[in-house]
């Protein structure tokens, strides 16, 4: 067994312990190599806490000035990659920053920074600040992606293609209608993201370890300085809560579910068998063996990243489900899912925008894929307008499909006489049913695939984008 090591003096919990730590336990306990991403939030939170302690008389103005100056110097070191992490000493970002602050301004003054504060509230504050700002960035990426989608839907509104159920050709639709089927789902994700940000942006600073602050610290003052919308009102809940991470992970699974399905459709549509779209070279790769191949790797990676995000959410839910109140070290497992998911989602949305912005549509292939059988419902609707009950017209239209298959004649080329043999209520104007443009325009109820309906959906999408967060 490896020899034990003595806890370092700068470890905030070290005074209670006289024995050593297994070196593996030191490494196992450390979070510095991933929570260092929150150095800025940790320093800004410490400055706000020190300012509030100065207001409360815990620090003199001179001591506060030294602490603030020292912390900003530490931030400069992080920003210039000059900060040196001390393995086995800097167990987390909080300890690392306070250790370095003591080296810069002296331990006597630096040691007062932590008065009345617990790492339990500190870590929750840092995480909420960091996540809030990253989610706002993702909000911008998602809005940008949707604006590209709305613009393409408007520009390519005249493209008609097959719509599918069960991956079988069903009815004619506009290409723009397909895009907006996902666009409005993504817009709902944007609304949910904005709601999530509001719940993330609440301050736990001043909650102490669990019971609250004993020095009457001004929590509202700190929350305002750090850009929070308000406070978490129960100190126990404030330090224990990781619902904000869990909610973000759940939100991310919904978004990535939509991204994955969108990517899957485009993978199918880009195959040689369909050929509706062609991906730009920037978002494709070739084969190491087959020179003719152009693979939709960007879309496949989007589909694959969704599984990674789903796994992070499920894993963290299992971490949370059995915890007693309030803080438990298990909560350290919230860091990596949060960091990894934010990066996965941010990258994925930007890749999706790049794919869509550079995608080439192939209207001729879309048109060639249209099949007269897709107008069978229009044939049934024709008789409905003659007063025939739909259940009966559905059966009659099915007989016309069977006749087409039996005779090997495309349904739109069946003669008027042949149709009359199926049902005498067909009239010469039935020929007008076999028109793809007319078919899409007949779907004119709100939400349909007619041109006016699609334009209305674009307007709705833009209104959702412009809504206040």
Active-site positions read 166, 287
Element (H, E) at 172: strand 168-174
Q: Which of these, 363, 369, 358, 355, lies nearest to 158 by C-alpha position?
A: 363
- DSSP 3-state of 391: helix
Question: Which residue pairs from 315-319 have beta carbons closer than 8 angstroms and sit at least 24 positions apart in sequence?
Answer: 316/242, 316/245, 316/246, 316/249, 317/246, 317/249
How far apart CA 373 and CA 451 sit, in angstroms, is: 22
CB-based contact 331:241 (threshold 8 Å): no
In eight-state DSSP terms, residue 285 is B
Give Cα separations from 266 to 22, 161, 271 (angstroms): 52, 13, 9
Radius of gyration of the chain from Cα atoms?
31
How far apart CA 225 and CA 441 sit, in angstroms, is: 55
How far apart CA 169 and CA 132 sit, in angstroms, is: 44
Strand 202-203 versus strand 277-278 pairing type: unpaired
In eight-state DSSP terms, residue 2 is P
Backbone angles phi, psi at 128, to 5 degrees: -65, -40
CB-based contact 154:271 (threshold 8 Å): no
Backbone angles phi, psi at 161, to 5 degrees: -145, 170
Element (H, E) at 444: none
- DSSP 3-state of 17: coil
- Encoding tokens for residue 363? 């209207």
How far apart CA 319 and CA 263 sit, in angstroms, is: 31
């Amino acid at each position: 067994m490896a020899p034990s090591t003595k806890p370092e003096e700068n470890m905030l919990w070290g005074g209670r312990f006289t024995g050593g730590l297994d070196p593996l336990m030191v490494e196992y306990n450390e979070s510095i190599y991933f929570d260092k991403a929150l150095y800025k939030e940790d320093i800004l939170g410490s400055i706000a806490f020190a300012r509030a302690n100065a207001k409360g008389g815990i620090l003199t103005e001179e001591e506060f000035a030294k602490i603030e100056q020292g912390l900003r110097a530490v931030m400069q070191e992080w920003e210039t990659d000059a900060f040196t992490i001390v393995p086995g000493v800097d167990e987390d970002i909080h300890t690392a920053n306070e250790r370095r602050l003591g080296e810069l301004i002296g331990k006597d003054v630096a040691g007062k920074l932590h008065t009345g504060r617990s790492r339990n509230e500190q870590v929750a504050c840092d995480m909420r600040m960091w996540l809030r700002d990253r989610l706002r960035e993702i909000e911008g990426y998602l809005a940008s992606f949707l604006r590209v989608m709305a613009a393409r839907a408007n520009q390519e509104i005249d493209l008609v293609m097959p719509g599918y159920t069960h991956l079988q050709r069903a009815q004619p639709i506009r290409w723009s209608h397909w895009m907006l089927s996902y666009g409005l789902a993504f817009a709902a994700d944007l609304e949910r993201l904005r709601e999530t940000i509001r719940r993330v942006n609440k301050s736990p600073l001043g909650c102490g370890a669990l019971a609250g602050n004993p020095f009457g610290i001004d929590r509202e003052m700190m929350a305002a300085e750090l850009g929070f919308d308000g406070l978490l009102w129960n100190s126990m809940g404030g330090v224990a809560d990781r619902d904000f991470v869990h909610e973000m992970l759940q939100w991310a699974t919904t978004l990535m579910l939509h991204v994955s399905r969108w990517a899957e459709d485009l993978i199918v549509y880009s195959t040689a068998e369909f050929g509706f779209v062609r991906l730009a070279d920037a978002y494709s790769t070739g084969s190491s063996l087959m020179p003719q191949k152009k693979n939709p790797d960007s879309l496949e990676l989007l589909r694959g990243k969704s599984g990674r995000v789903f796994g992070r959410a499920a894993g963290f839910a299992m971490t949370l489900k059995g915890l007693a109140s309030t803080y438990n070290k298990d909560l350290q497992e919230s860091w990596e899912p949060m960091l990894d998911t934010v990066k996965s989602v941010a990258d994925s949305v930007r890749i999706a925008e790049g794919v869509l912005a550079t995608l080439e549509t192939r209207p001729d292939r879309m048109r060639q894929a249209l099949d007269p059988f897709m107008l069978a419902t229009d044939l049934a609707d024709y008789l409905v307008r003659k007063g025939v009950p739909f259940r009966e017209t559905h059966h009659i239209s099915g007989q016309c499909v069977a006749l087409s298959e039996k005779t090997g004649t495309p349904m739109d080329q069946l003669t008027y006489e042949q149709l009359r043999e199926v049902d005498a209520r067909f009239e010469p104007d039935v020929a007008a049913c076999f028109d793809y443009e007319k078919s899409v325009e007949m779907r004119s109820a709100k939400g349909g695939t007619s041109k006016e309906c699609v334009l209305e959906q674009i307007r709705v999408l833009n209104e959702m984008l412009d809504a206040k967060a």
